[in-house]
């Protein structure tokens, strides 16, 4: 049973960590605001001049029927945001050098883009968004075809160029930019490992006076630690809720229409981040506190980028080419669980990602418990 006295006191201890509060409360809000203003132009295509770009007419392009269909569909759509020209590679590069086009696309896995030295940043972002959308749609179609070929008949949007150029979430179309906001939640969960670090260090005799008292106490230390970890999970979940409220109501970002499942994912992500912090603290028991904090923050940043913060397509690339890196990334488990709620109508795929998330949480918690129980001190 949770001791409310320990729970409340642990909440106070965690909330006094000013450095940690910045990373889990202030920084995600600042990053979400930056993403919002950066991504706004991607959701509005009306009234914009078509971006001139070229597609290299090589053997890979001629063999890629899906890319050729996408290029034709985009050109045929009303108010097309792109003016794609199929050109010989040398001609395309010459036009790029002269500033006649903004980018050159090369067919392949993944679809690659070469940008000119000049040009405005908005054009580059739009071309990159097209390439990312194409890669993700191609991956989704392959996944659906493998799991249920009959379902392909219902994906009528794939025959329209709008699926590659409309980034809004209305009328059944899904926004590509929402993935960037999901990675903020994933990064925040991993940052929450700092709260787990605070709890475990308070139990280690070589890290705190409280840990020294607990080491010589005849009372069982399991329930107090469990209570303190519950307090840490509460703080992390509070920061996630604040970030969710800010994105949903202040920035008006359409995160998901499945709010209960979305919040449950954030709660489980809080547990994953806290257990990860406990894991890191016990495995690196002899390291300085600052070193452990730096590693937790660094892994949070790296994991978020590998789950799609810098490029949404990177998650698909890793899953296809380097599966161990993909599945062992805790940030990717959170991002994919949130993404599945947004893009898929049922909960089957979400359940798979949640099972992986909870399994990873259990492994971190068990290793941390084992390492903590085996710690001994020559003198206290």
Summarize pLDDT for 174-219 with one digit per residue, the tens.
677 888 999 999 999 999 999 998 888 877 655 565 555 555 455 5
Residues carrying CATH 3.40.190, the chain? 46-165
Given a cut of 50, is residue 47 above it in pLDDT? Answer: no
pLDDT at 172: 44
Provide, rounded to the nearest whole percent, the portion of the chain with pLDDT above 70.
78
CA 3 vs. chain centroid, Å, equals 35
Cβ(41)–Cβ(122) under 8 Å? yes
Please give the pLDDT value at position 157. 46
Cis omega before residue 80 (within 30°)? no
> What is the pLDDT, as a whole number, of residue 320?
79
What CATH code would you report for 46-165? 3.40.190
Percent of the chain's residues with pLDDT above 90: 33
CB 61 within 8 A of CB 108: no
Q: Give me the mean pLDDT over the 38-45 stretch.
A: 60
| pLDDT score of 296 more than 90 | yes
- pLDDT winner (highest mean) among 20-24, 92-96, 135-139, 360-364: 360-364
SS3 233: helix
Mean of pLDDT values over 148-171: 46
What is the reported pLDDT for 240? 96
Which pLDDT band, with edges at 50, 70 and 90, does 25 fall under?
Answer: very high
Q: Which residue has the higher pLDDT, 99 or 243?
A: 243
Averaged over 288-316, what is the pLDDT? 88
Instruction: Point out which residues pair with 138 in neighbouring strands.
Output: none
Q: Quick one: pLDDT at residue 230?
A: 93
Structure tokens at 90: 């040398």
Q: Give the pLDDT confidence score for residue 26 in this predicted structure.
A: 92
Report whether pLDDT(344) > 80: no
43: pLDDT confidence band, cut at 50, 70 and 90? low
Residue of 9 and 335 predicted with greater confidence: 335
Which has more pLDDT, 380 or 284? Answer: 284
135 token code pair: 């890669």
Strand-by-strand arrangement of the 51-56 sheet: 82-87, 51-56, 103-106, 112-115
Which one has a higher pLDDT value, 239 or 226? 239
Confidence of residue 166 (pLDDT cuts 50, 70, 90): very low
Q: Hey, is 51 helix, strand or coil?
A: strand
- Chain centroid to CA 379: 44
82 in helix, strand or coil? strand
155 three-state secondary structure: coil
């Amino acid at each position: 049973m949770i001791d409310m006295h320990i729970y409340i006191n642990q909440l106070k201890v965690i909330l006094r960590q000013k450095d940690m509060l910045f990373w889990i409360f202030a920084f995600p809000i600042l990053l979400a605001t930056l993403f919002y203003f950066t991504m706004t132009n991607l959701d509005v295509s009306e009234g914009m001049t078509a971006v001139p770009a070229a597609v290299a007419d090589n053997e890979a392009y001629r063999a890629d029927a899906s890319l050729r269909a996408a290029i034709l569909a985009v050109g045929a759509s009303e108010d097309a945001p792109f003016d794609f020209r199929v050109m010989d590679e040398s001609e395309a590069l010459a036009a790029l050098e002269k500033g006649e086009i903004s980018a050159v696309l090369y067919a392949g896995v993944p679809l690659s883009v070469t940008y000119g030295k000049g040009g405005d940043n908005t054009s580059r972002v739009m071309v990159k968004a097209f390439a990312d959308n194409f890669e993700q749609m191609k991956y989704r179609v392959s996944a659906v075809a493998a799991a249920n070929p009959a379902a392909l008949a219902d994906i009528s949007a794939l025959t329209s160029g709008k699926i590659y150029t409309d980034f809004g979430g209305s009328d059944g179309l899904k926004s590509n930019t929402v993935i960037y906001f999901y990675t903020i939640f994933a990064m925040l969960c991993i940052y929450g490992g700092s709260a787990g670090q605070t709890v475990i260090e308070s139990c280690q005799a070589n890290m705190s006076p409280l840990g020294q008292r607990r080491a010589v106490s005849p009372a069982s230390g399991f329930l107090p630690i469990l209570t303190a970890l519950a307090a840490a999970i509460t703080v992390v979940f509070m920061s996630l809720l604040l970030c969710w409220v800010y994105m949903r109501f202040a920035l008006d970002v359409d995160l998901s229409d499945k709010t209960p499942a979305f919040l449950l994912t954030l709660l489980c992500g809080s547990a994953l981040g806290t257990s990860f912090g406990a894991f890191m603290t016990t495995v690196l028991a002899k390291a300085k506190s600052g070193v452990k904090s730096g590693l937790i923050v660094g892994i949070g940043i790296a994991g978020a980028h590998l789950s799609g913060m810098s490029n949404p397509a990177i998650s698909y690339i890793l899953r296809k080419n380097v599966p161990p890196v993909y599945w062992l990334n805790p940030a990717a488990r959170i991002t994919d669980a949130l993404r599945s709620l947004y893009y898929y109508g049922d909960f089957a795929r979400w359940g798979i990602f949640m099972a992986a998330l909870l399994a990873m949480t259990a492994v971190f918690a068990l290793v941390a418990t084992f390492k903590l129980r085996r710690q001994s001190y020559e003198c206290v």
